[in-house]
Amino acid sequence: MDLRYSSEDEAFRAEIRAWMEGAVAAHGTSPPLDDWPARRAYDTAWQRKLHDAGLAGIAWPRAYGGRGLPISQQLVYLEEYARAGAPYIGVNFVGLMHAGPTLIAEGSDAQRAFHLPRILAGESVWCQGFSEPQAGSDLASLRTRAERRGDAYVVTGQKIWSTRAHVADYCELLVRTDADAPKHGGITWLILDMRLPGVTVRPMRTIDGESHFCEVFLDEVRVPIENRVGAENDGWRVANVTLRFERGTAFAQHIITLRSQVRRLASLAKARRGERGAAVDDRRRRIGRLDASVEALWRMTQMCISEAERTGAPSPLGSAVKLRYSELSQEIAELAVRIVGRPVIGAVEIDGVRTDEVAREYLWSLQATIAAGTSQIQRNLIAQRILGMPKGR
């Protein structure tokens, strides 16, 4: 791919920059982290504004309501989005980044016609119901069962770690439809309407004091058969399409914001130099290395996005992107804590940055090497699917 931007790309950049300047300021600051109804309203209202400005689903095909923009303009969009400090994708993450793309790749015409416009307009929020108490890394051992009765699957079981399920309308649900088949062969991918009778959602509190995740209990929930995505018992293949989007392209927006986080580190280090002298000066080399690593990761992400555009879904290279992204974001968060020093346990402002926010970001960064498949699992996938090494015992 040619990494240089054309004059049309630059014209598009100017258009987005002008729109973002006004729109970001007008949208105001995000609500308190523990006010989930307000967070949902804030995130979906922003998505609606993007939609109305023709900036929703810029990578999605035009046939499905997206802009179908070329890869170079998708990248320009992400760069400008981060530059403007536009609101985080938030509750729209699953719908826009992997449920929508999975429906585009694997859904029926009726499913696409119903769900895709709603996702793009910020009218429906999705969550993911893959993991279970006994099925995380070994996802294929999931036990939530679905029995076909008439025109519905009757689903009973439990999901865990479902991010933002307490504010979701729909769920990407993996169920076992054939208990006798080999474990990868008896799984089906369903669209679960979270308002159906028998669905109970219980938020869980995490180390940073928030409730990002939920347990989802399913008690004889009747999911209409037309909500199945792909064939019965072919859900493992469909789930892998979802996971390839989740690991390969979904983090692009997060990755580009690492640039501004490294710049913030540099500025913080300068602000702290007067007080902490050489100790902070020594961090300069580390910040320089992080800056170079973020640029290298952004090039890898560009490769992954362009591959996805060519072939319809990201390749196993996505595992390498996800692994590097999660480790870099932890390094950046940890260095920020070191640079701030002791005030990190208080709540003061240094160089326009609140120190309790630095502490919160550090705690939150710990999840990065677990979410969307742990680092160990990504390394296994890289060994097997990119390097062609044999499976370990």
Q: Note whether 380 binds ligand FAD by CB under 6 A.
A: yes
Q: Does residue 152 interact with ligand FAD by CB under 6 A?
A: no
**Which of 137, 141, 240, 311 lies at the binding interface for ligand FAD (CB under 6 A)?**
137
- Asked if 117 is part of the footprint of ligand FAD (rule: CB under 6 A), the reply reads no
CB neighbours (10 Å) of residue 342? 8
Task: Answer yes or no: 226 catalytic.
Answer: no
CB 256, min distance to ligand FAD, A? 20
Instruction: Please tell me whether residue 93 binds ligand FAD under the rule CB under 6 A.
Output: no
Among 163, 211, 315, 384, which residue interacts with ligand FAD (rule: CB under 6 A)?
A: 163
Among 44, 73, 306, 367, binds ligand FAD (CB under 6 A): 367
Task: Determine if 373 is a binding residue for ligand FAD (CB under 6 A).
Answer: yes
Q: How far is the CB of 353 from ligand FAD (least distance, A)?
A: 23
Pair of tokens at residue 364: 């939150």
Q: How far is the CB of 221 from ligand FAD (least distance, A)?
A: 17
Structure tokens belonging to residue 338: 């070191």
Q: Rule CB under 6 A: say whether 141 interacts with ligand FAD.
A: no
Our finding on whether 44 is near ligand FAD (CB under 6 A) is no
Nearest one of 88, 92, 54, 95 to 73, comparing CA atoms? 54
- Of 80, 106, 132, 246, which is the active-site residue? 246
- Of 140 and 154, the one with the shorter C-beta distance to ligand FAD is 140
CB of 246 to ligand FAD, least distance (A): 9
Q: Please report whether residue 374 would count as binding ligand FAD according to CB under 6 A.
A: yes
The reply to whether 136 sits near ligand FAD by the rule CB under 6 A is: yes
57: left (phi over 0), alpha (psi -120 to 50) or beta: left
Cite the active site residues: 246
Binding stretches for ligand FAD (CB under 6 A): 127-131, 136-137, 161-163, 367, 370-371, 373-374, 376-377, 380
